[in-house]
Protein backbone atom coordinates (compact mmCIF):
# COMPACT_ATOMS: atom_id res chain seq x y z
CA UNK A 1 0.00 0.00 0.00
CA UNK A 2 1.30 3.50 -0.85
CA UNK A 3 1.79 5.63 2.25
CA UNK A 4 1.87 8.90 0.35
CA UNK A 5 0.70 10.33 -2.90
CA UNK A 6 2.92 12.47 -5.14
CA UNK A 7 1.55 15.95 -5.80
CA UNK A 8 2.40 16.78 -9.42
CA UNK A 9 0.69 20.17 -9.42
CA UNK A 10 3.92 21.99 -8.40
CA UNK A 11 5.93 20.21 -11.11
CA UNK A 12 3.42 21.25 -13.71
CA UNK A 13 4.25 24.89 -13.00
CA UNK A 14 7.97 24.44 -13.80
CA UNK A 15 9.16 25.43 -17.30
CA UNK A 16 9.42 22.46 -19.65
CA UNK A 17 11.99 21.83 -22.36
CA UNK A 18 11.08 20.40 -25.76
CA UNK A 19 11.73 16.83 -24.58
CA UNK A 20 9.40 17.27 -21.61
CA UNK A 21 12.20 17.65 -19.02
CA UNK A 22 11.43 20.08 -16.20
CA UNK A 23 14.05 22.56 -14.95
CA UNK A 24 14.16 25.01 -12.04
CA UNK A 25 15.31 28.52 -12.94
CA UNK A 26 18.34 29.36 -10.76
CA UNK A 27 20.30 31.60 -13.13
CA UNK A 28 21.52 34.72 -11.35
CA UNK A 29 20.77 33.40 -7.85
CA UNK A 30 24.24 31.99 -7.21
CA UNK A 31 27.78 33.21 -7.78
CA UNK A 32 31.14 31.43 -7.76
CA UNK A 33 33.76 32.98 -5.49
CA UNK A 34 36.92 33.97 -7.36
CA UNK A 35 39.03 32.88 -4.38
CA UNK A 36 37.76 29.64 -2.87
CA UNK A 37 35.62 28.75 -5.94
CA UNK A 38 32.68 27.97 -3.68
CA UNK A 39 29.13 28.60 -4.89
CA UNK A 40 27.55 31.36 -2.80
CA UNK A 41 23.98 32.59 -2.67
CA UNK A 42 24.14 35.98 -4.36
CA UNK A 43 21.91 37.72 -1.81
CA UNK A 44 24.17 36.49 1.00
CA UNK A 45 27.20 37.90 -0.82
CA UNK A 46 25.50 41.26 -1.42
CA UNK A 47 24.42 41.45 2.24
CA UNK A 48 28.09 40.97 3.14
CA UNK A 49 29.11 43.82 0.79
CA UNK A 50 30.74 41.42 -1.69
CA UNK A 51 33.10 39.89 0.86
CA UNK A 52 33.07 36.10 0.55
CA UNK A 53 31.68 34.64 3.83
CA UNK A 54 33.78 31.49 3.30
CA UNK A 55 37.28 32.74 2.41
CA UNK A 56 37.05 36.51 2.96
CA UNK A 57 38.15 37.54 -0.53
CA UNK A 58 37.01 41.05 -1.48
CA UNK A 59 35.14 41.34 -4.77
CA UNK A 60 34.57 44.74 -6.32
CA UNK A 61 31.85 46.94 -4.87
CA UNK A 62 29.83 49.57 -6.72
CA UNK A 63 29.89 53.24 -5.69
CA UNK A 64 26.38 53.34 -4.22
CA UNK A 65 26.95 50.25 -2.05
CA UNK A 66 30.22 51.79 -0.89
CA UNK A 67 28.37 54.85 0.42
CA UNK A 68 25.80 52.65 2.14
CA UNK A 69 28.64 50.76 3.83
CA UNK A 70 30.48 53.82 5.13
CA UNK A 71 27.71 56.29 5.96
CA UNK A 72 25.32 56.11 8.90
CA UNK A 73 22.07 54.49 7.83
CA UNK A 74 23.37 54.44 4.26
CA UNK A 75 22.00 57.98 3.93
CA UNK A 76 23.71 60.77 2.01
CA UNK A 77 23.09 63.93 0.03
CA UNK A 78 24.55 63.81 -3.46
CA UNK A 79 26.11 66.79 -5.24
CA UNK A 80 26.80 67.58 -8.91
CA UNK A 81 24.83 64.54 -10.10
CA UNK A 82 24.03 66.28 -13.40
CA UNK A 83 27.65 66.97 -14.44
CA UNK A 84 28.63 65.11 -17.61
CA UNK A 85 31.43 65.35 -20.14
CA UNK A 86 31.00 67.53 -23.23
CA UNK A 87 33.23 65.24 -25.35
CA UNK A 88 35.82 68.03 -25.92
CA UNK A 89 37.89 66.09 -28.47
CA UNK A 90 35.01 64.46 -30.38
CA UNK A 91 36.95 61.26 -29.73
CA UNK A 92 36.20 58.06 -31.64
CA UNK A 93 37.68 54.61 -30.99
CA UNK A 94 35.51 51.53 -31.46
CA UNK A 95 32.57 53.91 -31.03
CA UNK A 96 32.16 57.68 -30.59
CA UNK A 97 32.89 58.86 -27.06
CA UNK A 98 29.50 60.54 -26.68
CA UNK A 99 27.81 57.23 -27.47
CA UNK A 100 30.00 55.41 -24.96
CA UNK A 101 29.10 57.98 -22.31
CA UNK A 102 25.40 57.58 -23.03
CA UNK A 103 25.54 53.78 -22.81
CA UNK A 104 27.49 53.94 -19.54
CA UNK A 105 25.05 56.44 -18.07
CA UNK A 106 22.17 54.13 -18.90
CA UNK A 107 23.95 51.05 -17.53
CA UNK A 108 25.04 52.61 -14.22
CA UNK A 109 22.40 55.32 -13.74
CA UNK A 110 25.26 57.76 -13.10
CA UNK A 111 26.39 60.79 -15.08
CA UNK A 112 30.07 59.84 -14.72
CA UNK A 113 32.49 57.61 -12.81
CA UNK A 114 32.12 59.25 -9.40
CA UNK A 115 29.48 60.01 -6.78
CA UNK A 116 30.20 63.08 -4.65
CA UNK A 117 28.17 63.32 -1.47
CA UNK A 118 27.98 64.36 2.15
CA UNK A 119 26.80 62.28 5.07
CA UNK A 120 27.73 61.16 8.56
CA UNK A 121 30.28 58.56 9.52
CA UNK A 122 29.60 57.39 13.08
CA UNK A 123 27.97 60.74 13.76
CA UNK A 124 30.69 62.91 12.21
CA UNK A 125 29.78 64.91 9.06
CA UNK A 126 32.13 64.26 6.14
CA UNK A 127 32.51 64.96 2.44
CA UNK A 128 32.94 61.72 0.51
CA UNK A 129 33.66 60.78 -3.10
CA UNK A 130 33.12 57.21 -4.30
CA UNK A 131 34.34 56.00 -7.70
CA UNK A 132 32.37 53.62 -9.95
CA UNK A 133 34.69 51.21 -11.76
CA UNK A 134 31.91 50.02 -14.08
CA UNK A 135 31.78 53.48 -15.70
CA UNK A 136 34.49 53.27 -18.40
CA UNK A 137 36.78 51.48 -15.96
CA UNK A 138 36.35 54.17 -13.33
CA UNK A 139 38.53 56.41 -15.48
CA UNK A 140 39.27 59.97 -14.40
CA UNK A 141 38.09 62.66 -16.79
CA UNK A 142 37.13 66.31 -16.46
CA UNK A 143 33.91 65.50 -14.56
CA UNK A 144 35.67 63.36 -11.95
CA UNK A 145 38.25 66.10 -11.47
CA UNK A 146 35.60 68.79 -11.11
CA UNK A 147 33.55 66.76 -8.65
CA UNK A 148 36.57 66.16 -6.42
CA UNK A 149 37.61 69.82 -6.59
CA UNK A 150 34.11 70.91 -5.56
CA UNK A 151 34.06 68.33 -2.75
CA UNK A 152 37.32 69.78 -1.43
CA UNK A 153 35.87 73.31 -1.57
CA UNK A 154 32.83 72.14 0.42
CA UNK A 155 35.10 70.44 2.96
CA UNK A 156 36.95 73.74 3.46
CA UNK A 157 33.71 75.74 3.60
CA UNK A 158 32.01 73.52 6.17
CA UNK A 159 35.20 72.45 8.00
CA UNK A 160 34.60 68.74 7.47
CA UNK A 161 37.00 65.86 6.73
CA UNK A 162 37.26 64.46 3.21
CA UNK A 163 37.21 60.77 2.26
CA UNK A 164 37.84 59.59 -1.31
CA UNK A 165 37.33 55.93 -2.25
CA UNK A 166 39.29 55.18 -5.43
CA UNK A 167 38.51 52.44 -7.94
CA UNK A 168 39.97 53.38 -11.29
CA UNK A 169 41.98 52.34 -14.30
CA UNK A 170 43.54 55.82 -14.47
CA UNK A 171 43.12 58.89 -16.65
CA UNK A 172 40.46 58.73 -19.37
CA UNK A 173 42.13 58.51 -22.77
CA UNK A 174 39.04 59.80 -24.59
CA UNK A 175 39.69 63.23 -23.04
CA UNK A 176 43.43 63.30 -23.71
CA UNK A 177 45.46 66.01 -21.96
CA UNK A 178 42.29 67.38 -20.35
CA UNK A 179 42.07 64.26 -18.20
CA UNK A 180 45.76 64.53 -17.26
CA UNK A 181 45.21 68.13 -16.16
CA UNK A 182 42.90 66.85 -13.43
CA UNK A 183 45.90 65.37 -11.61
CA UNK A 184 47.41 68.83 -11.05
CA UNK A 185 44.02 70.44 -10.43
CA UNK A 186 43.08 68.00 -7.66
CA UNK A 187 46.58 68.02 -6.12
CA UNK A 188 46.50 71.83 -5.88
CA UNK A 189 43.04 71.70 -4.26
CA UNK A 190 44.27 69.12 -1.74
CA UNK A 191 47.09 71.49 -0.83
CA UNK A 192 44.48 74.12 0.07
CA UNK A 193 42.71 71.50 2.20
CA UNK A 194 45.98 70.77 3.97
CA UNK A 195 46.58 74.49 4.57
CA UNK A 196 43.10 74.63 6.14
CA UNK A 197 44.28 71.82 8.46
CA UNK A 198 41.46 69.49 7.49
CA UNK A 199 42.05 65.72 7.17
CA UNK A 200 41.90 63.78 3.92
CA UNK A 201 41.64 60.00 4.09
CA UNK A 202 42.26 58.06 0.89
CA UNK A 203 40.83 54.56 0.49
CA UNK A 204 42.33 52.51 -2.34
CA UNK A 205 40.31 49.58 -3.68
CA UNK A 206 40.69 47.12 -6.52
CA UNK A 207 41.87 48.47 -8.93
CA UNK A 208 43.57 51.82 -8.31
CA UNK A 209 46.01 52.50 -11.12
CA UNK A 210 47.40 55.08 -13.55
CA UNK A 211 46.91 58.80 -13.04
CA UNK A 212 44.62 58.29 -10.05
CA UNK A 213 47.40 56.50 -8.15
CA UNK A 214 49.89 59.13 -9.35
CA UNK A 215 47.78 61.92 -7.85
CA UNK A 216 45.05 62.05 -5.22
CA UNK A 217 44.88 58.35 -4.29
CA UNK A 218 48.36 58.53 -2.73
CA UNK A 219 48.10 62.03 -1.26
CA UNK A 220 45.98 61.24 1.78
CA UNK A 221 46.95 62.14 5.32
CA UNK A 222 46.10 58.48 5.79
CA UNK A 223 46.30 56.04 2.87
CA UNK A 224 44.24 52.89 3.45
CA UNK A 225 43.61 49.93 1.17
CA UNK A 226 41.39 46.87 1.06
CA UNK A 227 42.93 43.38 1.15
CA UNK A 228 44.18 42.12 -2.22
CA UNK A 229 43.59 45.39 -4.07
CA UNK A 230 45.63 45.99 -7.24
CA UNK A 231 47.43 49.32 -6.78
CA UNK A 232 50.07 50.82 -9.05
CA UNK A 233 50.82 53.10 -11.98
CA UNK A 234 51.36 50.74 -14.90
CA UNK A 235 49.80 47.29 -14.71
CA UNK A 236 51.96 44.25 -13.88
CA UNK A 237 51.64 42.82 -17.38
CA UNK A 238 52.95 46.06 -18.92
CA UNK A 239 55.86 46.13 -16.46
CA UNK A 240 56.80 42.52 -17.18
CA UNK A 241 56.76 43.16 -20.92
CA UNK A 242 58.91 46.27 -20.44
CA UNK A 243 61.60 44.93 -18.11
CA UNK A 244 61.31 41.34 -19.44
CA UNK A 245 61.44 39.91 -15.93
CA UNK A 246 59.01 37.97 -13.79
CA UNK A 247 57.56 40.10 -11.01
CA UNK A 248 57.53 39.00 -7.34
CA UNK A 249 54.51 37.13 -5.99
CA UNK A 250 51.74 39.53 -5.02
CA UNK A 251 53.46 42.48 -6.71
CA UNK A 252 51.30 45.65 -6.66
CA UNK A 253 48.77 44.11 -4.28
CA UNK A 254 47.91 46.11 -1.19
CA UNK A 255 49.80 43.78 1.18
CA UNK A 256 52.96 44.16 -0.94
CA UNK A 257 52.65 47.97 -0.86
CA UNK A 258 52.09 48.00 2.89
CA UNK A 259 55.23 45.91 3.42
CA UNK A 260 57.23 48.37 1.31
CA UNK A 261 55.97 51.49 3.05
CA UNK A 262 53.55 52.77 0.39
CA UNK A 263 50.41 52.41 2.53
CA UNK A 264 49.51 53.13 6.14
CA UNK A 265 47.19 50.16 6.64
CA UNK A 266 45.29 47.37 4.90
CA UNK A 267 41.80 47.26 6.37
CA UNK A 268 39.09 44.63 5.70
CA UNK A 269 36.01 46.15 4.09
CA UNK A 270 33.63 45.41 6.95
CA UNK A 271 36.01 47.09 9.43
CA UNK A 272 36.67 50.14 7.27
CA UNK A 273 33.97 52.40 8.70
CA UNK A 274 35.03 51.99 12.32
CA UNK A 275 38.71 52.30 11.36
CA UNK A 276 38.14 55.64 9.60
CA UNK A 277 35.98 56.89 12.47
CA UNK A 278 38.76 56.08 14.96
CA UNK A 279 41.39 57.72 12.74
CA UNK A 280 39.35 60.91 12.46
CA UNK A 281 39.34 61.23 16.26
CA UNK A 282 43.11 61.78 16.07
CA UNK A 283 42.78 64.38 13.30
CA UNK A 284 39.71 66.26 14.45
CA UNK A 285 39.05 67.45 17.98
Instruction: Note the pLDDT of residue 91.
Output: 96
Domain ranges, residue 72: 60-283
Same domain, 79 and 126: yes
Q: In what order do the strands lie in the sheet with 200-208?
A: 77-79, 114-121, 124-131, 162-168, 200-208, 222-225, 265-266
Same domain, 68 and 101: yes
Cα distance between residue 170 and residue 210, in whole Å? 4
Flag whether 34 is in a domain.
yes
User: Longest Cα pair distance anywhere in the chain, in angstroms?
Assistant: 88
- Average model confidence (pLDDT) for the chain? 92
Closest CA to 75 of 38, 125, 112, 29: 125
Same domain, 78 and 206: yes
Same domain, 137 and 199: yes
Flag whether 3 is in a domain.
no
pLDDT digit string (tens) for 6-53? 555 555 555 555 555 555 555 678 988 988 989 999 999 999 999 999
Closest CA to 213 of 225, 204, 221: 204
pLDDT digit string (tens) for 226-283? 999 999 999 888 899 999 999 998 999 999 999 999 999 999 999 999 999 999 999 8
Flag whether 76 is in a domain.
yes
Amino acid sequence: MSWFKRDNSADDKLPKLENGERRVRTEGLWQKCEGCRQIIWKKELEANFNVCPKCGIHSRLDAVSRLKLLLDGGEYEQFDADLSSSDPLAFVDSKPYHERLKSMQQATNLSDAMISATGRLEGRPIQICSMEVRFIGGSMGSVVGEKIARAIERAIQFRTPLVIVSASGGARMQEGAISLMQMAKISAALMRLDEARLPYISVLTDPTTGGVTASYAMLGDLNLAEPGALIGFAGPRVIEQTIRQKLPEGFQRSEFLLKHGMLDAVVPRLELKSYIATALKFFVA
